[in-house]
Structure 1
């Protein structure tokens, strides 16, 4: 019995004395343990208003050796302290120059002030003058997509497929069946569709196209194609694409679409019954896209829409007048300016580096906070937009990620206007413009990039 009792006790005993204590776990490695303290906050510190202002003579000593033209021509430039407006460098800063695409900075300011950062353009479909007619009415959105509206995008924010589907639903509600005719109303813009100040060769190369108040892909055949020929009548091209989407959407609703699209003989009345509507991305988003990609067509449309917002015609002349008026209201002297267009393609534009620096200063630190919406549009050196492939060599790498500036390039013109935070934490605005340059000379672009890099690295005391 004893021999049997001992093994039995070993089996029963754990029920009374509990399970055996588990073996101690090995200590977790340090990298798996909860931190005892939080790490220091990463990122840029807020700007310090008490940061020292660079000494002008020290800034000039940095910039003068760098701003040298490669093979002919001259550079002008101006640097200011953004907070105080103090001029830190001035080489012909008040001289009028051909600014190329730096003109888009002026247009950005005008659009944000005249229209407002959150404004959107509406593309509508209204009932036509006769039965079974619909009118596609342009409202200034030239970034329409062919497919469904995409709220996460700027290009294609409003889509023709979505507009067509809403139109079919409205027609069904009205009891419309059978064949429908599509008309297009592009009467929001008037005057010459092509600015006579533009060179014929530039238009043929696709730098610009006739201006209309509705277009797909900023008057490109595809959103992914940014060079080469463009549609020469973006209003009709867009209306034809809408008609195709309407045909597809109406197939199951007993609605067909007549061949061909015509312009309305007279604009649709403002009170015409709206069947469907799609809204664009905000003006702020469009301004950012315009600056990042230097989109000429979008710039010209934003200029015309700024004029329309002020109660003026949607024309070339009204656009330049609207830009000038908005700058004047902002307190930037415009008497010496000559504006031939609002995108910078025309050689007749004349603007000084001082005026551009003042515009950048207004955007970064002026009293009109609506202009802050343009900050995201400035290309970042070595990273985004038209500066993404620059600032990669040893002489400019220190400016990568720090310089934020709008580029400008024509055959014998190069410009760079933007802002940097210097090594002491001071916000500086600048504008450098080269005219009469040797076409294609690589050293000119490098000269501007090195100058902006020097400002970013400047303690200059």
Structure 2
């Protein structure tokens, strides 16, 4: 059985003061000036996986490149070759690294090693999903979950709207996970039914027609599904597709067999608790995906998720496979495509092509990177980062969703070695880990304040620790230039 190496991370809150100080220190040069208000100034929110910071909207976000010193020297390709070759040597024959480094301001490729080779990216594929999402959805928009009374007043329909982070309790506006709660929706529903004079026992049906096609991707290894790294995807779910509140953002236990039915049952339970004193009772009805027309006048209640950007940040920081699949389908719908596996994949390619980003060699099987059959070149990955860091559209928010080296999310316990510590508090990246894959794609600034986008992907890994060491050393080498 092929096992995955989960991207676990520990929150070292005791280290927060000096990492934040490091960010402030580099703020005098390079992108540090841009990181200060979003990282050092909001440290507690950044390290709390359930409460990512509410980031800027597309209309107000600043271009991070504008804060860089205009006279920062671009490194010469020769300056990168030696340090990066030394860093990749730390693989010690335990894998093959493909690399691409781009100077963002000029677009010049400073280093390229086997970068045209389509490689298995692991969770670096989430960058493609995030880019597509922020290209088509307003980052400040929210996903609605609604309930409606039938025209004959004899049943209630729960309508999925793409929020899979519902809580089984009341809405918590200060949290991303559980921002909307089914108890709050149930209380609204009971009040509306009372006002309409409805009583008795009503069936509650689920309209999950927002998504189509298979919920479980056939490209996923069944062992990964059984282990909970991913599960069948629904447009509505409790607790990010868990049967109870997860212990942290990387908890893969307690997966429901049918997330839609689980959410429906949770809503019905809340309705019965709230409606008992009003002469109302409820039973779960159909949990099919059949669509139905619902008049606004028949709406009984509505709750809203955290913003698209907050959910996207949660996904990135925790490398959340299931949420990536949800946001991939939501991106497809926002782009006018079907909310399906195929629709999400189609949307990514259309979006990259439209942005002028290479899709040469791209083979996409899912939205989260769990499939070992995904292929993408480091050229594509580095181009996404370069595009995001200089964009004046909503895609620029992608840059701020990436974990901080040695500080947040899946990078919290990385870059601790002496030859890698230079990147702490400065570099940002998306990690990727499968049994034979380790990857890092992101951006950093040189000691002179020059912004570089990079992608380092190791395939055929035989020693994950050595691969991680080589990746961290590679990013640090760029930061030291």
Structures share fold, TM-score greater than 0.5:
yes
Given that 2:132 and 2:351 are in contact with CA atoms closer than 8 Å, whether structure 1 keeps it comes out as yes
Q: What is the root-mean-square deviation in Å for CA atoms of aligned residues?
A: 1.6
Cα deviation, 1:123-155, whole Å, max 9, x if unaligned, reads 110113653311111110011111111111111
CA contact (8 A) 2:385 2:399 kept: no
Q: Contact 1:205/1:229 (CA < 8 Å) preserved in 2?
A: no
The structure 2 residue matched to 1:107, chosen from 116, 129, 134, is: 129
Deviation at 1:403, TM superposition (A): 1.6
Residue 61 of structure 1 is aligned with which of 82, 89, 95? 82
Q: Is the 8 A contact 1:141 1:215 kept in 2?
A: yes
Superposition deviation, residue 266 in structure 1: 3.5
Shift of 1:376: 2.5
- Asked if 2 retains the 8 angstrom alpha-carbon contact of 1:240 and 1:261, the reply is no
SS at match of 1:197: coil
> Which residue pairs with 2:207 in the alignment?
185
> Is residue 2:236 matched to residue 1:214?
yes
1:194 pairs with 2:219: no
**Alignment partner of 1:44 is 2:67:** no
Distance 2:152 2:220 in 1: 40
Contact 2:264/2:287, CA 8 A, preserved across alignment: no
Deviations 1:26-69 (A, max 9, x none): xxxxxxxxxxxxxxx97713411220001111111111111132
Which residue of 198, 220, 224 maps to 1:176? 198
Given that 1:208 and 1:297 are in contact with CA atoms closer than 8 Å, whether structure 2 keeps it comes out as yes
Alignment of 1:42-441 (within 5 A): 44-45=27-28, 46-68=67-89, 69-128=91-150, 130-225=152-247, 226-258=251-283, 260-263=284-287, 266-271=290-295, 273-366=298-391, 368-438=392-462, 440-441=463-464
Q: Distance in 1 between matches of 2:151 and 2:329?
A: 27
- 1:204/1:229 contact within 8 Å kept: no
* Cα distance in 2 between the residues matched to 1:282 and 1:96: 34
Q: CA deviation at 1:421?
A: 1.2
Which residue of 2 is the match for residue 442 of structure 1? 465
Q: Which residue of 2 aligns with 1:18?
A: none
Contact 1:70–1:442 (CA under 8 A) maintained in structure 2: no
SS of the residue aligned with 1:230?
A: coil
TM-score under structure 2 length normalisation: 0.83
SS in structure 2 at match of 1:121: strand
Give 1:19's aligned residue.
none
- Residue 97 of structure 1 aligns to a residue whose secondary structure is coil
Q: CA deviation at 1:264?
A: 5.0
* Distance (whole Å) between structure 2 residues aligned to residue 382 and residue 72 of structure 1: 24
Write the distance in 2 (CA, Å) between the matches of 1:127 and 1:70: 65
Q: For residues 391-418 of structure 1, give each alpha carbon's deviation from its aligned partner in whole angstroms, at most 9, with x where no partner exists.
A: 1222222221112100000000111000
TM-aligned CA deviation for residue 117 of structure 1: 1.0
Greater C-alpha Rg: 1
1:431 Cα offset (Å): 0.2
Residue 91 of structure 1: how far off its partner (Å): 0.4
More deviation in 272-281 or 223-232? 223-232
Q: Determine the C-alpha separation between the residues in 2 that align with 1:210 and 1:361.
A: 33
8 Å contact kept, 2:432–2:438 = yes
What SS does the aligned partner of 1:452 have?
helix
Deviations 1:154-207 (A, max 9, x none): 111111111111111111111111222211111111111111111110100101
Q: Which moved more, 1:354-363 or 1:219-228?
A: 219-228
